[in-house]
Amino acid sequence: MKPLQPSDLMQRDGRERAVAWALTITQNTPLAPAQQEQQLLNKFIAGELSLDEVIMLLDEENQNQM
């Protein structure tokens, strides 16, 4: 399997691979995504949100919890 390139995130299959990789390495750890985070990842995979938008929304949520 070839390493992901930034341009791979422009296509759904590349986004799916990136998210699958991240989920695999965080599975059963405190870093595994909560339900809301998973929903954002699903929107990213579908192309509804960019990675920057996901990060922005996560940052906003984190600031609201402080």
Q: Where are the domains of the chain?
A: 31-66
At 13 the pLDDT is 94
Q: How high is the mean pLDDT in each 10-residue block of the chain (66 residues)? A: 81 94 96 95 97 95 86
Q: What is the pTM of this model?
A: 0.86
At 6 the pLDDT is 83
At 1 the pLDDT is 64
Q: Are 39 and 49 in contact (CB under 8 A)?
A: no
b/e per residue, 29-56, with b = 16+ CB within 10 A?
eeeebeeeeeebbeebbeeebeeeebee
% of the chain at pLDDT higher than 70: 98
